[in-house]
Structure 1
Amino acid sequence: MSGDVSTDVRGDTARAIAAGRRPRRWGAWYVALHRFRVMRSYTGTVVVAGIGNPLIYLYALGVGLATIVDTDLDGVSYLVFVAPALLASAAITVASEEFTYPIMLGYKWNPTFTGMSASPLRPTQIVDGVVISVAVRMTVNLVLFFALILVFGAAPSPIAFLSIVAGLLGGLAFGAVLMGYTSTLEEDTGQLAMVMRFIVLPMTLFSGTFFPLSTFPIWLQWIGWISPLWHSTELARVFSYGYSEPIWLTVVHVAYLAALIVIGWAWSRRIALRRLNR
């Protein structure tokens, strides 16, 4: 009888260990799946951000404002010029939504991250899963946006679809750093609202989004130079209509955005280890 009990115990132990191996290996994807299910609760916002906003902006700026902008920019119409910038801005918008309050929610307001870390999931996998889920949502939004750009006839280059990649790089570059910053907050006493007002808004206005960066005074151009939005916008324009720039500058765009992603992602993982392993 005791032998049967020992066998049952060993069997239960083996099954428990086996059950823990899968989350240890695929934990980030479990977290991403959780985030997808959470996103279902605000599907309307996702749809509006993916279809409604692009449609409004493309029509208002690319068609409406374009009627009073009587000069070509970079040798193309204003609609073709501004469309890649709006696409890149859409990725920044998604990053601003997903890497701020949902992160505070997971750490503080409804500490799901704490619950996840009590399971076989590692803190770093939680961060990875969040980034994966946001990257997927961002890609969906960008694909929808690009489809509307095609409808408006604002993507003349045969490799214009690569502007989706440029937008994704910009969104993740900004979002990863923003996630790291949000992860450091123990309380939100207005810091995230300040980020929206004094970082996201100026970045949108002074990153060559609506007019070339060179048209701004030199004392304002530095905002664009350090802005992920400017780098992703310029890269998207290269792909979208063959914007002419030195190859070294294109390499700088990619390297700068990749560096921000790596730095922000590593920073977020480090903070997660500190906060969730207390």
Structure 2
Amino acid sequence: MSAAPVLTGYAGGVGWITFNRPEAMNAVDVPMAVAFRDAVRALNATPGIKVIVLTGAGRAFMAGGDLASFRRTDDKPGFAHELITPIHEALVALAEGPAVSIASVGGAAAGAGMSVALAADLCVAAENASFTTAYAGVAAPGDCGITWALPAMVGPRKAMELMLLSPRLSAAEAAALGLVNHVVADDALEAETDRLAARLARGPAFAMGQIKALIRRPAASYAAHLDAERAGFAACAGEADFDEALAAFFARRAPDFRAE
């Protein structure tokens, strides 16, 4: 029997969701996306949960979407909807739920991984963490809320640079941009995340929920923005550039996008 794509647990007011495809650096496929959505909904419905921690098993937080899944399908736009819909539902549930969310990032957070890290209310990163948008390199516009969160955090001009050029940011560089709250030693990530989660779990649940709701208030159309991202991604998945990006990725070569 294959391992569960997402592991969950809770104790002391803290729920944990661990992305559990370490052999694929936790790249998101449909089963993981569905399991993530179901885990967030279950924790939101669990009495006493004040904090939800997101983390990845193995050496990465999440290395984007599972491009191999796209490669196996003839209907790439349809598959984009199938993959992105449940993870977007998970992120809306995370944003609209009362619990404070923490992304605990070790290793790579690329593409959807960076998006999910930015979607959390707080982010703690190990020194070995790295962040890259990665979407332009696979001829995609972004998903999982990154084109909502990134401009709000760094401003539209810097967000444009990060989306178009996809630089690989170290944990320290991400912290300097305001994308990460705390950077800790690699071997201290779990302990520091536990300490932060426990501190929040001792806090006033209703007041913290109100703080979260008020700070997120400008994101009243977050769900609609996620819908627009999904539609844009699916449209790009039907283009020849997307096929070329997949072929180049698996051939370990630079993509040769067609001239317009």
Q: More relative contact order in 1 or in 2 (CA 8 Å, sep 6+)?
A: 1
Task: State the TM-score bracket (shorter-chain normalisation).
Answer: 0.3 to 0.5
- TM, length-normalised to structure 1: 0.32
Structure of larger gyration radius: 1
Q: Which has the higher helix share?
A: 1
Q: TM-score, normalised by structure 2?
A: 0.33
